[in-house]
């Protein structure tokens, strides 16, 4: 999915809410074909500048610009089934309800598209990074790069968040470094903080690598190819390291910050590093090797922490963690302990804001807003749903449910024929099940 600045975080969350509940707003009018054509021209200019050299493939290809409020879309080519119609130099139409709306790559009407939500950022650098990021996602499978998310719930813990922010500060220092020696010291600090995180959370190395190999490399590509000069790329990478500190959670957002930083630092130390991406080595391993750094000296950890934190960062994280624990207890009461509606997950597709997810330990992930499509129909939520992929269920609160209209506190359910809501296994619970055959 696309890189998200603070501006884009707010716009995407609003767009998702509007799309799910059918609310129209002047901020999200139908996509204007002439404006869309200019975006396609900007994308083409990025591809022409690269000429397929960076990844050995041309980034340009089928692209959809979609208004999330009314599903109107403009494409740069005709779809295979002829759903869209010519309008000047572009093609216009409306995406069906079955198509997920997000900044991502999708398969639709016989074609793999780069899909981008309208409107695009007004800032040219943000817009060009987004375009290149999403164009890369379209070709990512052809480059044999796995599209995995990783389970990064550790990044919502006190130590996980703290060490990540120390790493970001060290990476920023490395990008700003006036000379090679200063850069090498800062890189060593970033790797020290990261390896300490991996020591505390043994599965973190694999899980973080999954998301960095997916979104991190995509965001790096967006910065590297979307921007024309080294100065602009460094400036943007520093922007990403700063803005994602304010994301509600790092669980799904951290790679947008680390990907460009590690990629640009690797560009400075080993111009051939991208050829090693399929070797199984992580970005931190590649950078440590390229910079000829020894293994991190954990005995120096406290001293190096003090270089990047005068104590205020840690104190702020302690305060946040206390609030987080109280919030998790409230979510557990709402979505686990209290009466719930249980929905089976079989062939699910999700539409959600990845920056707002709340890990609930072994009980799954809470999605504050989500549209969930499955065999039984559609669940639209704007006030918390729990997704437990291990148990293959989703739950929403069944308190004050209106069973006749199939909606409750902050959610509504549209069932397909052959499905019904029945009493659940606990008193007060409900469950979505197939209707009994007559």
Statement: residue 409 has pLDDT above 90: no
Of 143, 177, 200, which residue is a domain's last? 143
160 and 281 both lie in a single domain: yes
Residue that finishes a domain, picked among 143, 161, 177: 143
Are residues 194 and 66 both part of a single domain?
A: no
**Confidence band of 242 (pLDDT split at 50, 70, 90):** very high
Q: Is residue 325 part of a domain?
A: no
pLDDT at 185 over 70: yes
Residue 358 domain flag: yes
Q: What pTM was estimated for this model as a whole? A: 0.82
- Residue 142 and residue 55: Cα distance in Å, rounded? 10
Tell me if 235 is assigned to some domain: yes
Range of the domain at 66: 6-143
Average pLDDT of the residues in 377-388: 95
pLDDT band, residue 23 (cuts 50/70/90): very low
* pLDDT bracket for residue 231 (50, 70, 90): very high
The whole-number pLDDT of residue 353 equals 81
Question: How large is the average pLDDT for residues 204-213?
Answer: 96
Q: How confident is the model at residue 12 (pLDDT cuts 50, 70, 90)?
A: very low
Q: Could you tell me if 138 and 158 lie in one domain?
A: no
Reply yes or no on whether the pLDDT at 240 is more than 90. yes
Q: Does any domain span residue 1? A: no
Task: State the pLDDT at residue 403.
Answer: 63
Say whether both 343 and 401 belong to one domain: yes
Going by pLDDT thresholds of 50, 70 and 90, the confidence category of residue 146 is: confident
Average pLDDT, the chain: 90
- Looking at the domain assignment, is residue 355 inside a domain? yes
Q: What is the per-residue pLDDT across 245-295, written as a single tens digit (0 to 9) for each?
A: 999 889 989 999 999 999 999 999 999 999 999 888 999 999 999 999 999
Q: Is residue 317 part of a domain?
A: no
Distance CA 277, CA 217 (A): 10
Do 158 and 292 fall into the same domain? yes
Tell whether 219 and 276 lie within a shared domain.
yes
Which tokens is 274 given? 């991208």
Are residues 354 and 230 part of one domain? no
Q: Based on the domain organization, do 96 and 161 belong to the same domain?
A: no
305 and 157 assigned to the same domain: yes
Where does the pLDDT of residue 405 fall: very low under 50, low under 70, confident under 90, or very high at 90 and above?
Answer: low
| pLDDT confidence of residue 24 | 34
Last residue of a domain, one of 143, 171, 196: 143
For the chain, how long is the longest CA-to-CA vector? 78
47-76 pLDDT tens trace: 999 999 999 999 999 999 999 889 999 999
Query: Which of the four pLDDT bands, split at 50, 70 and 90, describes residue 306?
Result: very high
Q: Is residue 227 part of a domain?
A: yes
Do residues 170 and 277 share a domain?
yes
Q: Structural domain tally of the chain? A: 3
Q: Determine the average pLDDT of the residues in 376-392.
A: 94
Let me know if residue 136 belongs to a domain. yes
Q: Which residue has the tokens 């989703």?
A: 394
- Tens of pLDDT along 77-134? 999 999 999 999 999 999 998 898 889 999 999 999 999 999 999 999 999 999 999 9
Tell me how crowded residue 295 is: count the other CB atoms within 10 A of its CB. Answer: 9
Residues 291 and 202 in one domain: yes
d(CA 250, CA 324): 13
**What is the Rg, in whole angstroms, of the alpha carbon atoms belonging to the chain?**
23
- Res 18 pLDDT > 70: no
For the chain, percent of residues with pLDDT exceeding 70: 92
Q: pLDDT tens digits for 310-356? A: 999 999 999 999 999 999 999 999 999 999 999 999 999 888 887 78
Same domain, 178 and 110: no
Does the pLDDT of residue 14 top 60, yes or no? no
């Amino acid at each position: 999915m696309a890189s998200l600045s603070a501006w884009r975080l707010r716009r995407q969350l609003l767009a998702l809410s509007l799309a799910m509940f059918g609310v129209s707003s002047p901020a999200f009018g139908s996509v204007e074909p002439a404006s869309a054509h200019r975006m396609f021209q900007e994308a083409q200019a990025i591809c022409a500048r690269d000429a397929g050299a960076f990844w050995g493939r041309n980034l340009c290809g089928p692209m959809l610009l979609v208004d999330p409020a009314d599903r109107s879309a403009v494409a740069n080519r005709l779809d295979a089934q002829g759903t869209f119609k010519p309008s000047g130099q572009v093609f216009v139409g409306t995406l069906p309800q079955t198509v997920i709306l997000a900044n991502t790559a999708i398969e639709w009407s016989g074609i793999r598209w780069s899909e981008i939500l309208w409107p695009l950022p007004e800032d040219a650098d943000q817009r060009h990074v987004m375009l290149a990021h999403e164009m890369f996602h379209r070709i990512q499978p052809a480059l044999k790069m796995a599209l995995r998310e990783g389970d990064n719930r550790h990044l919502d813990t006190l130590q996980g968040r703290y060490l990540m922010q120390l790493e970001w500060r060290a990476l920023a220092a490395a990008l700003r470094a006036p000379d090679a020696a200063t850069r090498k010291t800062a890189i060593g600090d970033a790797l020290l903080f990261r390896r300490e995180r991996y020591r505390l959370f043994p599965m973190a190395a694999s899980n973080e690598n999954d998301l960095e190999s997916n979104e991190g490399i995509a965001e790096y590509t967006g910065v590297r190819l979307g921007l024309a000069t080294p100065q602009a790329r460094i400036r943007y990478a520093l922007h990403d390291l700063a803005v994602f500190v304010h994301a509600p959670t790092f669980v799904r957002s951290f790679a947008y910050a680390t990907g460009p930083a590690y990629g640009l630092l690797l560009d400075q130390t080993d111009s051939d590093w991208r050829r090693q991406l399929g070797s199984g080595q992580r970005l931190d391993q590649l950078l440590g090797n390229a910079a000829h750094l020894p293994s991190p000296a954990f005995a120096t950890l406290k001293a190096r922490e003090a270089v990047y934190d005068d104590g205020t960062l840690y104190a702020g994280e302690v305060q946040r963690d206390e609030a987080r624990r109280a919030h998790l207890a409230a979510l557990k009461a709402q979505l686990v302990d209290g009466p719930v509606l249980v929905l089976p997950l079989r062939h699910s597709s999700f539409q959600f804001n990845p920056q707002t997810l709340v890990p609930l330990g072994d009980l799954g992930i809470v999605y504050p807003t989500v549209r969930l499509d499955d065999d039984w129909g559609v669940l639209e939520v704007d006030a918390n749903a729990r997704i437990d992929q291990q148990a293959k269920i989703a739950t929403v609160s069944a308190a004050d449910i209106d069973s006749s209209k199939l909606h409750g506190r902050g959610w509504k359910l549209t069932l397909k024929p052959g499905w019904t809501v029945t009493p659940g296994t606990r008193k007060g619970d409900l469950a979505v099940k197939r209707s009994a055959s007559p």
